[in-house]
Amino acid sequence: MARAGADVIVAHIGLTTGGRIGARTAMSLGSASELVNKIAAAAKEERGDIFVLCHGGPISSPRDVEVILEKCQVVDGFFGATSMERLPTEIAITQQVREFVALSLKRNR
Q: What is the mean pLDDT of residues 81-102?
A: 89
Asked whether the beta carbons of 11 and 40 are under 8 A apart, the reply is yes
Asked whether the beta carbons of 72 and 33 are under 8 A apart, the reply is yes
Q: Give per-residue pLDDT as tens, 19-67.
A: 777 777 778 999 999 999 999 999 999 999 999 999 999 998 999 999 9
pTM for the full model?
0.79
Q: What is the mean pLDDT of residues 68-90?
A: 91
Asked whether the beta carbons of 45 and 21 are under 8 A apart, the reply is no
Considering only residues 83 and 28, tell me which one the structure prediction assigns the higher pLDDT. Answer: 28
- Tell me how crowded residue 43 is: count the other CB atoms within 10 A of its CB: 22
